[in-house]
Structure 1
């Protein structure tokens, strides 16, 4: 019953229904499969009696798509935590098990849940990792761009002052949301590099760096573009290539941590970062700061800057 009440319709994942660009049959099937698997993961969460029960089904998802299933489960458990009858520790319990291997995806899923919950039911940010909580905003931004595309992508809407976390003085929320919007551009543009870049460059230029980061993450994690198209993407990024690489590094780290590397991850990190996924993930781990920020920036942005700077200094990417 909970699955029937809470799970969105799979028709919402069809590119034609969303009005997204279709590059070719293969890319359409990939993106629609990702959407279907995400919803399946969401359904596994909301209908399970315990997170462990959901994990058994999530682990049956093919390697290429399993991370999206865990992302969907993160949304599902986040929604349950936000409902009066759903309990309040589902996400916490999920992250004590196999969900921890997919920590980044689960945090993104919490952002999806927030987009579907009334604000007074949003989670307390104090209960989340102070460094990774910005991935929640990333998930929220992806959801809004995916489901409210006209407003957030074509009209470039930006939240006037995002109310979560309430105590955050840095106003970094908008930037983290833009990183999620950038990820969504890869889907809205149907993995077509020219279409994705055209959509991105329609935004005000101060937002481009964060959008490029999101594109790099999606192109690496989700795939959908062969090597020659990724080369074009790298060239089109211009001075934002370090941010494109930074997003690719985050994707590599998420894949490596979960043990979900597949061939297209290898190709993407080689083109966008000039290295292997394992080395990209190592860069992510070695540059990770503690929870304290620097110069008025949250630690998460310090982390992203350190990664981008690695590629400038190593010569793998030029600004």
Structure 2
């Protein structure tokens, strides 16, 4: 059971739920249903964060995380990833992140790595986790999480002033690529800032310099598939509106599909998003991610293996779509 000190950690370190409301954030409200969905996701994220901070052990944190409803459990693990890093940064603490990834969290590793980036956005750089000890491929998701946090909580600087520069360096490799990975997280946040409204989200993306659109659409694709909040016609409209970045959008959605399938948290929306955005079934979109995943990430190439993985997924989905259309004609 969590100790008195654990309860105190939770009280002192957990952000208030009010920070995730649409009114406080100033985000677009499409309708009451979408608003409720996005705010619920924020609440669950903070619940997972609190579980990781308060629990007396990784096993206790895991036990609590596994009680979260299956459709939103991944968001709880994302919050737990952030909480575990914050916990480990405290004097005399450690092992929470490692323990989380070694248990049931290994099925939610995509989300936990994103949560690491949330913690990086909140902690002084000397307290960041040792990134060299993490997965060389998935560690890029930490920058996705960092970008999401900045766009979500520093919306004026990262979204409403899209031409502002935000220099960033880390020790994860390929610093020339960090802006791309962060943009993927910003794109994911835009799905929340835009209230799951495809027209609003696309408008936000178009406000950024054109060379950033592909990464932003990829992030938005992940969010529209994982978080949901849009119907079939809206998703089809979003995919069509992405234009030349159609398959970057699909790549992000495929990542979301693979994350849910791996974690056993597939919902009806997973199948819908895979069919409409990826142009295939959820199972096939997930398989594309697994089949193209690099076995030995090359940290010395011109760009990280993570980017090659993303490009290969997009190319495979585009190729499969062309084959499918040809067969239908």
**TM-score band w.r.t. shorter chain:** over 0.9
Residues 1:92 and 2:101 are matched in the alignment: no
Q: Determine which of 262, 286, 311 is the counterpart of 1:305.
A: 311
Match for residue 246 of structure 1? 251
1:1-319 matches, within 5 Å, as 1-85=8-92, 87-156=93-162, 157-160=164-167, 162-165=168-171, 168-289=173-294, 290-292=296-298, 296-315=302-321
1:61-109 C-alpha deviation (Å, 9 max, x unpaired): 1111110001000100011122224x22211111110010100000000
- Number of positions where the alignment pairs a residue of Structure 1 with one of Structure 2: 315
Deviation at 1:278? 1.3
C-alpha RMSD over aligned residues: 1.4
Deviation at 1:315? 2.7
Deviation at 1:159? 2.2
Match for residue 5 of structure 2? none
**Cα distance 1:196–1:169, how it changes in 2: closer, same or farther (>3 A)?**
closer
Q: Which runs of 5+ in 2 are unaligned?
A: 1-7
> Partners of 1:291 and 1:239 in 2: how far apart?
28
Deviation at 1:57? 1.2
Deviation at 1:60? 1.1
1:84-137 C-alpha deviation (Å, 9 max, x unpaired): 24x222111111100101000000000001111001111121110011110000
Deviation at 1:312? 2.3
CA contact (8 A) 1:170 1:297 kept: no
- Scaled by the length of structure 2, what TM-score is found? 0.93
1:25-62 C-alpha deviation (Å, 9 max, x unpaired): 00000000000000000011100001110111111111
* Worse-matched range after superposition: 72-81 or 291-300: 291-300
CA contact (8 A) 2:174 2:304 kept: no
> Partners of 2:208 and 2:306 in 1: how far apart?
23
Deviation at 1:158? 3.4
> Partners of 1:260 and 1:315 in 2: how far apart?
26
